[in-house]
A and B are shown apart, each in its own frame.
Chain A
């Protein structure tokens, strides 16, 4: 009996341990940029973000002047019970007490530092990275040597507004259109109903690349390129097949008697749709809305092609990609910017996770 208990404990330890390991592995990348986005720009450039955790670091306790100590850098030198050549001291030598001796500077006028390992944390947190990346105005900062530098801000706030203006209609419009269509497929009889629905199913997996060249030609002809309307319509078109399919599955499963009694009372299809079907379909609408919202907010390709020519309408993803391209080493900007771009999707995700999972299980995967 006892061994059975022990085995159970071991199994539980194995399960929870492995899971915890995987969770940590999956979380570390995001944690890294989250922590970095609040670190001082000079710290980011010279030390890893994990230095915010307690760690041991060499710290200078005192200095020895080699000339005063009568040392000859060209031969073997003996300091504090350690002996070595100049090159060895240059690389650093450890004393029996655990201190480190290191030669800084050149042979003639250098000094020997005595360093000790101490526990430390690098907690020099700031909001400046966010200020610079969000603002459109010039931004001032002080370099480690004391000089003040002025750089243009990255206007992420403007891109954020643009992204909202693109995402909200691109989410609501396809849902509205698809809900009407799904209702018709589920509750109306008309010639071509089956053929049209087969088209919807076939289009579920068509890669959107297929549409980009011809649609861009149409947009040029209509002078639509680089407008919000262009990108709403594009996202509507690319999300509509899945929206119609998912909403049809949901709406057709609603109980028939509710609708029949409404029709007997003389309600029109339009009334039944707006007063009965829409409110009853909220769970399905919500789960598709979350998906469409995340796709559009996180989309880069469609925006690049249909809004690419208009810098005024740059979206968050385009702004971020532009910063990567132009200043890929400025980690204080990249980390803060990446986090700004993630705030809204993460909020939606954590707030509405239930609907999100339901949508995934219903087959929310875009072609």
Chain B
């Protein structure tokens, strides 16, 4: 009797185990399937829908943010159901995989692809052929795009202007940032002053361009000037000018655009210098004051050497930033009046002229320009023992 009861119980237990196993399989397969299906529906809806803007925006936010969270949860759930050995092997890739895949798709592989495209004519490598066939096709032009990059007259203008941007933009941002940081450190209005100097960092380049266009606004002589700069100039007896468009002084009209970036970036430099200055031990400053050093000596002989590292890193950052400057020039002058820079040339060639090969070659030149910084970053990283 007892044994039949046992077998019945065993059968029940077996059934329960089977059901739960089945359930787990269904869950394991079903949840991801359902999740993918829902995400796919959302994707199609977003791609093709003509619903009111507000609804699309809401669905978009929910779908985008929720979708990513759900994907992680689902993949984690699948891996958690695997045997332990597999779990420890696979779980790190669930965590790190999506980030690496996206980085590879959006930055790492495009570097190689852009280089490849730069070896071809305006249409890029012909599609549907393998690499060898592409190489032997008529579209392959070798390095001639690079030759054009360095010889075309507009490109040379762009290189010259970018040099101006780098020299004046970064130097003045650093100088103003440093002066403001030092002054603010001794002032009673430190907080307010820093906030206000810093505020332009929150403004878009397009917004900043409008703000400065308004300052440079030009009216013919004799009419009331509504632009601040021309109002000042005419009240001092000068002639009004359309400053960034003032071709007569080319290439120095670029300075009127560079001022905008100095206005935007000085706040960034200030914040970093301010923190670095606060890190200088008070005793050193006190000791040199007792020894009779004046404030200028302290500034040049003590402060600047002690924050040299910060100055170099801020300067490099702004150099990279000015190297890629695009929005300000594009909105202010569109590259006319001798103000083209590398990034506007890139846009003009790659997207306005639809010359993929030329555009890609310009992008590669930009990349080569930042390689020293990349090398420095990697060296720093290798020197850190912790990893």
Q: Interface on A for B, CB 8 Å cutoff?
A: 11-12, 15-16, 18-20, 22-23, 26-30, 32-33, 36, 44-50, 158, 161-162, 164-165, 168-169, 172-173, 176-178, 180-181, 183-185, 188-190, 193-194, 196-215, 217-218, 223-224, 227-229, 232-234, 236-238, 240-241, 244, 252, 268-270, 273, 294, 297-301, 304-305, 312, 316-317, 320-321, 324, 328, 331, 334-335, 337-338, 341-342, 345-346, 348-350, 353, 357, 360-361, 365, 367
Q: Name the residue of chain B whose CB is nearest to the CB of A176.
A: B68
B46:A227 contact, CB within 8 angstroms = yes
| CB neighbors of A among B183-201 (8 A) | 183-184, 186-189, 192-193, 195-201
Among all A-B residue pairs, the 3 with the closest Cβ atoms: A237-B106, A298-B204, A169-B64
Q: Quick one: given A46-B226, A324-B331, are A270 and B202 in contact (CB under 8 Å)?
A: no
Give the interface centre of A188, A238, A300 by most chain B CB atoms within 10 Å: A300
Stretch among B89-97, B147-155, B297-305 lining the A interface: B89-97
* Across-interface contacts of A197 in B (CB, < 8 A): 387
Q: Quick one: given A161-B57, A334-B210, are A269 and B117 in contact (CB under 8 Å)?
A: no
**Selected contact of A241 from candidates B43, B103, B231, B317, CB within 8 Å:** B103
Closest chain-B Cβ to A185's Cβ sits at a distance in Å of 7
* Across-interface contacts of B204 in A (CB, < 8 A): 297-300, 316-317, 341-342, 345
Interface extent on B, as a size class?
A: 35 or more
* Across-interface contacts of B195 in A (CB, < 8 A): 350, 353
Q: How far is the CA of A269 from the CA of B370 in the complex (A)?
A: 37
B56:A199 contact, CB within 8 angstroms = no
Give the interface centre of A15, A234, A244 by most chain B CB atoms within 10 Å: A15
* Across-interface contacts of B34 in A (CB, < 8 A): none
A215:B110 contact, CB within 8 angstroms = yes
B263:A237 contact, CB within 8 angstroms = no
* Across-interface contacts of A367 in B (CB, < 8 A): 320, 370
Closest chain-A Cβ to B301's Cβ sits at a distance in Å of 18
B203:A234 contact, CB within 8 angstroms = no
Q: Quick one: given A30-B199, A48-B224, A334-B214, are A211 and B98 in contact (CB under 8 Å)?
A: no
Asked if B22 is at the interface of the complex by the 8 Å CB criterion, the answer is no
**Per-position 1/0 for B322-337, Cβ under 8 A of A:** 0110110011000000
* Across-interface contacts of A233 in B (CB, < 8 A): 102, 106
A252:B386 contact, CB within 8 angstroms = yes
Q: Quick one: given A334-B214, A349-B201, are A46 and B224 in contact (CB under 8 Å)?
A: yes
Q: How far is the CA of A227 from the CA of B64 in the complex (A)?
A: 12
B100:A181 contact, CB within 8 angstroms = yes
Q: Quick one: given A26-B197, A294-B202, A328-B213, are A47 and B226 in contact (CB under 8 Å)?
A: yes
Closest chain-A Cβ to B243's Cβ sits at a distance in Å of 14
Asked if B271 is at the interface of the complex by the 8 Å CB criterion, the answer is yes
A324:B207 contact, CB within 8 angstroms = no
* Across-interface contacts of B226 in A (CB, < 8 A): 44-49, 331
* Across-interface contacts of A46 in B (CB, < 8 A): 224, 226
Q: Quick one: given A23-B193, A50-B228, A197-B387, are A213 and B47 in contact (CB under 8 Å)?
A: no
**Selected contact of A202 from candidates B47, B54, B201, B374, CB within 8 Å:** B374
**Per-position 1/0 for B258-271, Cβ under 8 A of A:** 00000100101001
Asked if B363 is at the interface of the complex by the 8 Å CB criterion, the answer is yes
B214:A335 contact, CB within 8 angstroms = yes
**Selected contact of B117 from candidates A33, A214, A337, CB within 8 Å:** A214
Asked if B289 is at the interface of the complex by the 8 Å CB criterion, the answer is no
A183:B95 contact, CB within 8 angstroms = yes
B53:A162 contact, CB within 8 angstroms = yes
**Per-position 1/0 for B28-64, Cβ under 8 A of A:** 0000000000000001001100000110111011001
**Selected contact of B96 from candidates A196, A215, A320, CB within 8 Å:** A196
* Across-interface contacts of B206 in A (CB, < 8 A): 298, 300, 317, 320-321, 324, 341
Q: How far is the CA of A305 from the CA of B348 in the complex (A)?
A: 12
| CB neighbors of A among B354-387 (8 A) | 356, 359-360, 362-364, 366-367, 370, 373-374, 377-378, 381, 386-387
B214:A32 contact, CB within 8 angstroms = yes
Asked if B134 is at the interface of the complex by the 8 Å CB criterion, the answer is no
Given A184-B95, A294-B202, A317-B327, 4 more pairs with CB closer than 8 A: A214-B117, A218-B105, A238-B107, A320-B206
**Selected contact of A211 from candidates B65, B110, B227, CB within 8 Å:** B110
Give the interface centre of B91, B107, B374 by most chain A CB atoms within 10 Å: B107
A33:B210 contact, CB within 8 angstroms = yes
* Across-interface contacts of B60 in A (CB, < 8 A): 165, 169, 228
Q: Quick one: given A26-B200, A331-B226, A342-B202, are A205 and B370 in contact (CB under 8 Å)?
A: yes
Q: How far is the CA of A141 from the CA of B367 in the complex (A)?
A: 51
Q: How far is the CA of A335 from the CA of B213 in the complex (A)?
A: 10
B107:A22 contact, CB within 8 angstroms = no
Q: Quick one: given A44-B226, A349-B199, are A210 and B111 in contact (CB under 8 Å)?
A: yes
Closest chain-B Cβ to A205's Cβ sits at a distance in Å of 5
* Across-interface contacts of A237 in B (CB, < 8 A): 102-103, 105-107
**Selected contact of B92 from candidates A158, A190, A218, A227, CB within 8 Å:** A190
Q: Name the residue of chain B whose CB is nearest to the CB of A202.
A: B374
20 contacts between A and B (CB under 8 A): A26-B266, A48-B228, A165-B57, A172-B65, A177-B98, A181-B96, A194-B387, A198-B381, A213-B350, A214-B113, A237-B102, A241-B103, A244-B103, A269-B91, A270-B76, A300-B205, A300-B326, A305-B351, A335-B214, A342-B203
Q: How far is the CA of A213 from the CA of B350 in the complex (A)?
A: 7
Closest chain-A Cβ to B300's Cβ sits at a distance in Å of 17
**Selected contact of B64 from candidates A210, A229, A269, CB within 8 Å:** A229
* Across-interface contacts of A207 in B (CB, < 8 A): 323-324, 363, 366-367, 370
Q: Quick one: given A19-B183, A48-B226, A202-B378, are A345 and B370 in contact (CB under 8 Å)?
A: no
Closest chain-B Cβ to A343's Cβ sits at a distance in Å of 10
B374:A29 contact, CB within 8 angstroms = no
Asked if B217 is at the interface of the complex by the 8 Å CB criterion, the answer is yes
**Selected contact of A361 from candidates B109, B184, B275, B317, CB within 8 Å:** B275
Closest chain-B Cβ to A68's Cβ sits at a distance in Å of 30
Q: Quick one: given A206-B111, A214-B114, A353-B195, are A33 and B57 in contact (CB under 8 Å)?
A: no
* Across-interface contacts of A169 in B (CB, < 8 A): 60-61, 64-65
B196:A213 contact, CB within 8 angstroms = no
Asked if B138 is at the interface of the complex by the 8 Å CB criterion, the answer is no
* Across-interface contacts of A357 in B (CB, < 8 A): 271
* Across-interface contacts of B72 in A (CB, < 8 A): 176, 180
Asked if B215 is at the interface of the complex by the 8 Å CB criterion, the answer is yes
* Across-interface contacts of B387 in A (CB, < 8 A): 194, 197
Asked if B286 is at the interface of the complex by the 8 Å CB criterion, the answer is no
Q: Name the residue of chain A whose CB is nearest to the CB of B209.
A: A324
B95:A269 contact, CB within 8 angstroms = yes
